[in-house]
Structure 1
Amino acid sequence: MIQPICQLFLALISKSLQAKPLVNRKRSSGRSKRKGEHMLYYARRVRSGAVVAFLLAFASFLLMPGAWTAQAQKAPTMANLVEGAKKETTFRAMWGSDTLDGAAGLQKIVSAMNKKYGLKIKPAFTPGPNMQGMMTKIAREKAAGQPASSDVYFGNPQSMLQASKVDVLEPMNWRSFLERPLKSDDPSFDPIVPGNIGIAMASTLVGVIYNSDRVKGNDIPKKLADILQPKWKGKIASTPYAAGLREFAMPELLGREFVMDYAKKLSKHIGGLMRCGEMDKITSGEFLMLVLACGDQEVNIAQRSGIPLGYAIMDDATISHTRYSAIPKNSRAPNTAALFISYLHTAEGQKLMWDIDGLDFHLYPESNQKKRLDAAKARGAKFVVSSPQWLGKNKDYAKTQNELEKILRGEAS
């Protein structure tokens, strides 16, 4: 398609350059007539030169690597993506084994996607690093001219902020191929990452995980102050990366001064540090609470099996940790990746993600997270959606996190 168009334009350019003057330049006996002919001649030459310059510029654009593709991909239709995906037989995925239940979860989602869109895609899962580590890996592969290890990328606000500084994710007109509208009533939160390089797909609320066999009734904390009661000293844990606290310290929530003071008190109250996801340390009774947790997805899954875990969202504040999806520029199956992301935004995709991973997106009316968030806001909790835009605005975020980590490790007074 591009080559015939370029040939046409080059032919026009050649013809313009070889064209003879548009007026008869024979000598005229009248001085004024000669002057008028020369003025008309130069005016037409200038106009012809402008046309040639435009044709050259446009032909150069068409010949630029990826220019035509970029224009075509601005607003792909579902039909475009399905047709393209039929030529992509394998869908490679790499992320942490606890994300979307690893290989088993990927198989369930791809099977449902195949059925919905009439495809025969084969999933291939490989356990990978955390979200920031995976972004670094994909960026290195692209720089080396290698295909991405994962055809789709899952990230958090931090990794998407990282991605915005490197040219590694494909800009997409996401809303053009979603099955239903994606709207945010919160003016401070846009689910589309700046530059259209990614789209939010799920959220989880920050709170406290507790052993529901050992912490019951009025003992279940409602505010951060409840956690500092003497009965809990030495029996609770926090995270080595100050989950929750780092966000609560931002100006829109509880503020730096309050959280720094609280962290100092908490550091003398905890019995140790643990990572989000190490639920066995709570269920075994080694720790009775995790203050604060990265989100509630593990608890949502555990409760279905009768595992004694509970989750409490603080009345002081909460934050919605957002999960993002995107397509690496070096993806080997970009059409399948787009359909995979689109499917997770459908009502059935959201339900499947909740069943598999205890996650869904609070922007959709049927969302479990929306119900919990609405209840927290009704109790007066301050609330922010964590996003790359929000993190980018809070320049002291990384510095504050480092200071909080040192406090929790007992390295700062």
Structure 2
Amino acid sequence: MKRFIGILGVIASTTAIAAPVAAQSTLQDVIAKAGAEGAVAINVSTTRFPLEAGPNLSAALSKEFGVDIKVELINNSPVPVMAGQIVEETRAGVTPSFDLFPLPLAFTKAIDAGGAIERIDWKGIGVDPEFIDPAGNAVWIDTVPRAVFYNTNLLKGEDIPTKLEDLLDPKYKGKIAGPGFGDAYAMVSVPVLGEEKAAEWMKSLYNDQGLTVIRAISDIPNRVANGEFEIGIGIPANRTGLVDKGAPIANAPLESVGGQPYYIFVVKNAPHPNAGALLSYFFCCTAAGKKALFDDMAWAKFDYEGSEQNAVGGNGRGKVPTPEWQLAEQDRVGAAFDAIIGR
């Protein structure tokens, strides 16, 4: 697959992988060691958050566990670049510049093969096994709805789509924009339609409906809001804050919505591994952590009430594939969809 060529090249050249660190056995062990470390950094790739997000998360984490830990959100290169970099750093024995990396499981598979994930006893510190990936590497903290949204000035009433198949109506031909990577369309459609029907839907959307592919997914809401397109695909309408600013876009009330789960893991040789494990547990498994994660980063799962994720996919409408499918099949399906859009 194109997106993993760089990562897999690095993995192939890795000759030695350090033994995993001793796993922590209890949450109290992690709290004590995290307090001694005093800081934790999350790589958020190219996503930008308000300056107060880090201090707010620090305050919430410290209040919950009684330890002072500075939380820093680090902007860096795009995900494929950073995924390859941390494997290179592990091979070279270089201390990484961050402790935590939230990613889809399809990416963690290649990073794990490169020995760049720290082994944490997630179950031992209290993480529900339901939220631990099958390899035991990472913890599920967020779901990005692969939503459909529309320009509220251009579409009204019965013209607003309510299911994915509606997008194949000829009246939308040439009026739909979507991202430039097949993975997004896979997660839009496969959890809802199944692989076979999703592939046919994707072919028709691109070949018959004249889907416009836009490289940066964050640009799509802007171009729907300005009336260039009637419909956008791939992220919720307010993911970049446009709805809050009064932009004329809204999420389509789909009967079922696919979602991309994001899992967070501690990077091998991280300078603050215990603080990383504690923050991951905080986000995943405490009410205060879920609230802080949403309030300061707008990250949540479909079941978090008051979130856009819940508004889009609550009451069972949000669908995500199994972790096993994400690890074993998502790469293959994403590559097939890449081929359809000529990527």
Q: Structure 1-normalised TM-score?
A: 0.68
Q: Does 2:321 align with 1:385? A: yes
Task: Quote the RMSD (CA, aligned, Å).
Answer: 3.1
* Correspondence for 1:159: 107
Q: How does 1:14-413 map to 2 (within 5 A)?
A: 70=22, 73-78=23-28, 80-98=29-47, 101=49, 103-178=51-126, 182=128, 190-247=130-187, 253-267=192-206, 268-270=208-210, 272-274=212-214, 275-278=216-219, 279-290=221-232, 292-293=233-234, 295-296=235-236, 298-299=238-239, 301-312=241-252, 314-315=254-255, 317-345=256-284, 346-362=286-302, 369=309, 372-377=312-317, 383-385=319-321, 387=323, 389-394=324-329, 397-409=330-342
Question: Is the 2:179–2:217 Cα contact (8 Å) retained in structure 1?
Answer: yes
Aligned sequence identity (%): 21
Who wins on radius of gyration, i.e. which is larger?
A: 1
Q: 2:9 maps to what in 1?
A: none
Report how far residue 223 of structure 1 moved: 1.9
- Give the C-alpha shift of residue 305 in structure 1: 3.5
Residue 247 (structure 1) shift = 4.0
| Counterparts in 2 of 1:97 and 1:210: CA distance versus 1, 3 Å | same
Q: Deviations over 1:268-312 (max 9, x none)?
A: 32362123221221211222211x31x327448443343322112
SS of corresponding position for 2:131: coil
Secondary structure of the corresponding residue to residue 36 of structure 2: coil
Residues in 2 aligned to 1:280 and 1:297: alpha-carbon distance in whole angstroms = 10
Q: CA deviation at 1:243?
A: 4.5
**Deviation of residue 343 (structure 1)?**
1.9
More relative contact order, 1 or 2 (CA 8 Å, 6+ apart): 2
Q: In the TM superposition, what whole-angstrom CA distance separates every residue of 1:208-266 from its partner, at most 9, and x where no partner exists? A: 0222232232221012232233332222212221344324665x753444333332322
Match of 1:277, SS state, is helix
CA distance in 2 between partners of 1:386 and 1:83 (Å) = 34
| 1:270–1:88 CA distance, 2 compared to 1 (3 A) | same
CA shift for structure 1 position 104: 3.8
Tell me the secondary structure at the aligned position of residue 320 of structure 1.
Answer: strand
Equivalent position amino acid for 1:391 in 2: Q
Change (3 A) 1:159 1:90: same
Query: 1:83, 1:194 → 2: CA distance?
Result: 28
Instruction: Give distance in 2, aligned partners of 1:130 and 1:281.
Output: 22
**Equivalences, count:** 322
One-letter code aligned to 2:202:
A
The structure-2 alpha-carbon separation of the partners of 1:77 and 1:155, relative to structure 1 and needing over 3 Å to count, comes to same
What is the alpha-carbon distance in structure 2 between the residues aligned to residue 256 and residue 85 of structure 1?
43
Structure 1 residue 169, shift from structure 2 partner = 1.2
Distance (whole Å) between structure 1 residues aligned to residue 135 and residue 183 of structure 2: 28
Check conservation: 1:313, 1:376, Cα contact below 8 A: no
Letter in 2 for 1:201: I
Which consecutive unaligned segments of at least 5 residues does structure 2 have? 1-17
Give, in angstroms, the shift of residue 174 of structure 1: 1.8
Contact 1:212–1:310 (8 Å) recurs in 2: yes
Work out whether residues 322 and 386 of structure 1, in 8 Å CA contact, stay in contact via their aligned partners in 2: no
TM-score (norm 2): 0.80
Residue type of the alignment partner of 2:225? T
CA separation in 2, counterparts of 1:210 and 1:243? 21
More deviation in 323-332 or 345-354?
345-354
After superposition, the Cα gap between the structure-2 partners of 1:107 and 1:281, relative to the gap in structure 1 and judged at 3 Å, is: farther
* 263-272 or 132-141, which deviates more: 263-272
Unaligned runs of 5+ in 1: 1-64, 184-189
